[in-house]
Amino acid sequence: DGDGVLDLGVGAYLDDDGGPDRGAAWLLYLNSDGPVKGQAKLSSISGGIAGVLDDNDQFGISVSGLADLDGDGIREIAVGAARDDDGGTDRGAAWLFFMNADGTVKTERKFSDLSGDFNGTLDDLICDGACAPLEQIEAAARQYRRARSDAEQPLHSIDRRQPDLNS
């Protein structure tokens, strides 16, 4: 907010503003002795983001404070969107936000497979059967712990196939 006290950025990548798991980033403005004196939220419906956040983008998976890049006395922030689909499935993106003192976005720049003059190659997220949503992995681990009879059985014996979601 430009008061000389460092502020805090907090990611909420599963936030549902505007749609499921689009994500959000919170800016917490701190007093010099630590307590929060104000806050602002950046999401698909808050904070003045002009670009599009889609369902499941997971915007806010990472948040980083940057230097004051435009010389206005307000530090900028970078926010990651792990599952942004520009150019392919879940390729990801990084957003650079030039901020106003009130926590709204002055201008922004998205870096992805299709924007921001990024010339690198981002590949689709590919699961070969070893990938599963976290809830499925946790459920399989609970089932394994209940079913095993020998406490010394090594972990590598867990069946890593995805469970049948239709049963």
pLDDT digits (tens, 9 = 90+) for 6-17: 888 899 999 999
Reported as a pLDDT band with limits 50, 70 and 90, residue 121 is: low
Choice between 47 and 148, residue whose per-residue pLDDT is larger:
47
pLDDT at site 148: 52
Whether 32 shows a pLDDT value over 80: the answer reads yes
pTM over 0.85: no
Over the Cα atoms of the chain, what is R_g? 20
pLDDT digits (tens, 9 = 90+) for 89-115: 888 889 999 988 888 899 999 988 887
Choice between 67 and 2, residue whose per-residue pLDDT is larger:
67
pLDDT at site 141: 56
Task: Please compute the mean of the pLDDT values over residues 119-148 and round it to a whole number.
Answer: 56
Whether 145 shows a pLDDT value over 60: the answer reads no
pLDDT at site 144: 53
Reported as a pLDDT band with limits 50, 70 and 90, residue 67 is: confident
Here the tokens at position 143 are 């089932």
pLDDT at site 25: 95
Which percentage of the chain shows pLDDT scores above 70? 69
Mind giving me the DSSP string for 99-128? E-TTS-EEEEEEESSSSTT--S--PPP---
pLDDT at site 102: 85
Spatial neighbors of 145 by CB under 8 A, at least 6 apart, are none
Sequence letter at residue 47: G
